[in-house]
Amino acid sequence: MFILTSIVSFLKDKSYRSLLLTTNFFIGLGTVIYHFVEGWSWLDSLYLSVITLTTIGYGDFSPQTDLGKIFTLFYIVIGVALILGFFNSLMLHFKKQQDAL
């Protein structure tokens, strides 16, 4: 029940909600770019976007076109900072909720 109440309170906070929307937008942007530039399926494009931004990087997919490689350079630099900020905010929020109990 703690997790559910934390998620609801997280979504009610405007700054957290903005960060969540920005993160989802950026994942969506990467998905669309990879789909059209690399010609991958939507699922493969989403998979690479999430794997890249979370710095897991399994290596099973990689951009093959020059445009895809250039996009990935910028996507990693900007996206990793965004994702880390999102995870940091999420953890701080959960900690604040737990301390309030």
Q: Kindly report the pTM of this predicted structure.
A: 0.78
Q: Is residue 81 part of a domain?
A: yes
CA–CA gap between residue 82 and residue 52 (Å, rounded): 12
Q: How many domains does the chain have?
A: 1
User: Which pLDDT belongs to residue 51?
Assistant: 92
pLDDT at 6 over 80: no
Angle at 9 between CA 3 and CA 14, to 5 degrees: 140
In a domain, 7, yes or no: no
* pLDDT tens per residue across span 40-90: 999 999 999 999 988 888 889 899 999 999 999 999 998 888 888 878 887
pLDDT digits (tens, 9 = 90+) for 9-51: 777 877 778 888 888 899 999 999 999 999 999 999 999 999 9
CATH of the domain at 44: 1.10.287.70
What is the three-class DSSP state of 57?
Answer: coil
pLDDT for the residue 91 = 82
State the residue range of the domain holding 28. Answer: 17-94
Residue 5 lies in a domain: no
- 4 in a domain, yes or no? no
User: Encoding tokens for residue 99?
Assistant: 């301390």
3-state secondary structure of 12: helix
Residue with the larger pLDDT of the pair 32 and 98: 32
Alpha-carbon dihedral sign for residues 40, 58, 79, 85: positive
Q: Is 66 helix (H, G, I), strand (E, B) or coil?
A: helix
